[in-house]
């Protein structure tokens, strides 16, 4: 999953630098098949409009996913188009899987990491009406073969794909791609631009909530589900934006094309009677309506885990320099006391536990007894287990 995330971050960065508002509009399809990379989809395809990923699919998904707010709307209103995308995704996935096997053979590779990629798409200038299209294949980062829309022929810089050039020049592939790049692609680009444009006038308001892990941690104001991205969240005190003790998060995309953002407020020096002077504001850029959330104990959601006390005990054999017996007490994930076979007594591991040890010798006695009894028990048990598992030595 993290590799996939990285892939998209890099893709988006790349696209961000490639497009400027004065360029003609564009629709790109980027498809890739990989082998030999674990934790990464074997097949992955994205549709990109004016440099923004608007839909994608991969071999782990049953259906194509919309990646912008307006694309989600199109998916709801035009199931036939979703079906078209799903079909293309499935067919290409099968085709790419077969192709990468063929390529490995043709390049005499039996293993290793390999990437086969196709980038195709079209450009359309909405002022002049001019358009253009392209279709290129690459393997392991090098050009493999590409389609020339002007001559309707294939250009292969690699001898391994000369055979494809000869086949595709004569088998009707050129006409297929001419149609795909100049009819289908331009048609869908206009459809997408229409949905995108109408969505520019839409705003979707977020739900805003206050979150806090423990009573002493920062209060997080979390706004999620808003569109468009041009928005901000901040904390105010007495109606004035607050900068001190505030940690602003970045605007992050949700999976449905909407966005989220969080801002933390350090309340360690805020007295109880001052709480009511604070509020969290959500605001769309250029719009007047705001969402105000008062800092109020009763409004705060805690996703706090229940408190816990764990005992963790282990016996080992065959490991030098490691205690044969070891036991810890763990409160809310923090080791507070421990003992092992080299120690006469249980040791406190936090400051407040030392205090308890001083003030409550009876509890220390209880811990020491438990430690000794378990140590003898565990030592006997590990001998029994080794016999039962027919092990005479080892760790
Ligand atoms: C293919 O690879 C094998 C093993 O690496 C090698 O023995 C063989 O000569 C290679 N063949 C070609 C045509 O490169
Ligand atoms: C909150 O502010 C206090 C006092 O300024 C500081 O000691 C503490 O580390 C801050 N907490 C966080 C989570 O930033
Ligand atoms: C136990 O281990 C010994 C030596 O490794 C082997 O000869 C014997 O067959 C094993 N017995 C069982 C019940 O696995």
Name the residue range of residue 313's domain.
309-388
CB-based burial label for 324 (10 Å; 0-12, 13-18, 19+): middle
Q: What is the pLDDT of residues 284-323, one digit of tens each?
A: 987 888 899 999 888 888 765 677 898 999 998 888 778 8
- Rounded to the nearest angstrom, the distance between the alpha carbon of 34 and the centre of ligand 1 is 22
Q: What is the pLDDT of residue 329?
A: 93
- Rounded to the nearest angstrom, the distance between the alpha carbon of 293 and the centre of ligand 2 is 23
Q: What is the pLDDT of residue 246?
A: 95
Q: State the ligand closest to the CA atom of 269.
A: 2
Domain CATH number, residue 212: 2.60.40.10
- Of 88, 93, 95, 99, nearest to 44 (Cα)? 93
Q: What is the pLDDT of residues 5-34, one digit of tens each?
A: 444 444 444 444 444 445 688 999 999 999
| Percent of the chain with pLDDT strictly greater than 70 | 92
Structure tokens at 255: 């999976």
DSSP codes of every residue in 126-150 = TTT--EEEEEEEEETTEEEEEEETT
In sequence order, which residues have a C-beta less than 8 Å from that of residue 20 and are 6 or more positions away?
none
How many domains does one find in the chain?
A: 3
282 and 332 within one domain: no
Q: What is the pLDDT of residue 303?
A: 65
Q: State the ligand closest to the CA atom of 387.
A: 3
Q: What is the pLDDT of residue 208?
A: 95
Domain CATH number, residue 186: 3.30.500.10
Question: Which ligand 2 atom minimizes the distance to the CA of 269?
Answer: 4
Q: Is the CB of 265 under 6 A from ligand 2?
A: no
267 and 380 within one domain: no
Q: How confident is the model at residue 61 (pLDDT cuts 50, 70, 90)?
A: confident
Q: What is the pLDDT of residue 286?
A: 77
Inter-residue contact 62 to 93 (CB < 8 Å): no
175 and 241 within one domain: no
d(CA 283, CA 248): 14
Q: Strand 207-211 vs strand 325-331: parallel, antiparallel, or unpaired?
A: unpaired
230 and 164 within one domain: no
75 and 134 within one domain: yes
Q: What is the pLDDT of residues 201-210, one digit of tens each?
A: 678 899 999 9
346 has pLDDT over 60: yes
Residue found under tokens 């393997």 = 139
Inter-residue contact 323 to 340 (CB < 8 Å): yes
Q: Is residue 2 in a domain?
A: no
Q: Is residue 395 in a domain?
A: no
314 and 298 within one domain: no
- Of 44, 32, 47, 58, nearest to 138 (Cα)? 32
Question: Which ligand 2 atom minimizes the distance to the CA of 217?
Answer: 13
Inter-residue contact 288 to 256 (CB < 8 Å): no
Question: Cα 232 to the chain's mean position, in Å?
Answer: 22
177 and 241 within one domain: no
Q: Is the CB of 266 under 6 A from ligand 2?
A: yes
Q: What is the pLDDT of residue 4?
A: 45
Q: What is the pLDDT of residue 21?
A: 43
């Amino acid at each position: 999953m993290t590799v996939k995330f990285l892939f998209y971050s890099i893709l988006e960065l790349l696209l961000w630098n490639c497009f400027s508002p004065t360029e003609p509009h564009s629709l790109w399809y980027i498809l890739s098949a990989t082998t030999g990379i674990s934790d990464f989809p074997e097949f992955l395809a994205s549709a990109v409009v004016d440099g923004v990923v608007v839909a994608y699919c991969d071999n782990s998904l049953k259906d194509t996913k919309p990646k912008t707010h307006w694309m989600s709307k199109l998916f709801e209103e035009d199931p036939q188009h979703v079906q078209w995308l799903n079909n293309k995704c499935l067919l290409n996935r099968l085709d790419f899987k077969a192709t990468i096997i063929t390529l490995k053979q043709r390049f005499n590779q039996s293993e290793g990491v390999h990437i086969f990629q196709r980038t195709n798409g079209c450009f359309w200038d909405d002022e002049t009406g001019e358009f253009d299209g392209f279709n290129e294949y690459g393997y392991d980062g090098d050009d493999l073969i590409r389609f020339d829309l002007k001559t309707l022929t294939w250009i292969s810089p690699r001898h391994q794909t000369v055979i494809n050039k000869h086949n595709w020049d004569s088998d009707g592939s050129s006409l297929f791609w001419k149609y795909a790049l100049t009819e289908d692609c331009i048609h869908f680009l206009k459809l997408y631009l229409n949905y995108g444009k109408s969505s520019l006038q839409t705003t979707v308001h977020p739900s805003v909530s206050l979150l806090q892990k423990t009573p002493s941690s920062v209060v997080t104001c979390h706004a999620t589900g808003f569109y468009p991205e041009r928005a901000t969240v901040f904390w105010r005190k007495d109606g004035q934006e607050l900068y001190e003790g505030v940690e602003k998060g970045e605007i992050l995309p949700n999976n449905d094309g909407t966005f989220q953002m969080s801002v933390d407020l350090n309340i360690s020096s805020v007295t109880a009677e001052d709480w009511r002077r604070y509020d969290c504001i959500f605001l769309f850029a250029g719009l007047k309506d705001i969402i105000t959330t008062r800092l109020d104990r009763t409004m705060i959601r805690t996703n706090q885990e229940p408190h816990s006390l764990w005992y963790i005990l282990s016996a080992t054999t065959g490991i030098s320099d490691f205690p044969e017996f070891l036991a810890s007490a763990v409160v809310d994930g923090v080791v507070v006391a421990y003992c092992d076979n080299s120690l006469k007594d249980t040791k406190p591991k936090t400051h407040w536990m030392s205090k308890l040890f001083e003030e409550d010798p009876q509890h220390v006695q209880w811990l020491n007894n438990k430690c000794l009894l378990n140590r003898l028990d565990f030592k006997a048990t590990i001998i029994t287990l080794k016999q039962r598992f027919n092990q005479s030595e080892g760790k």
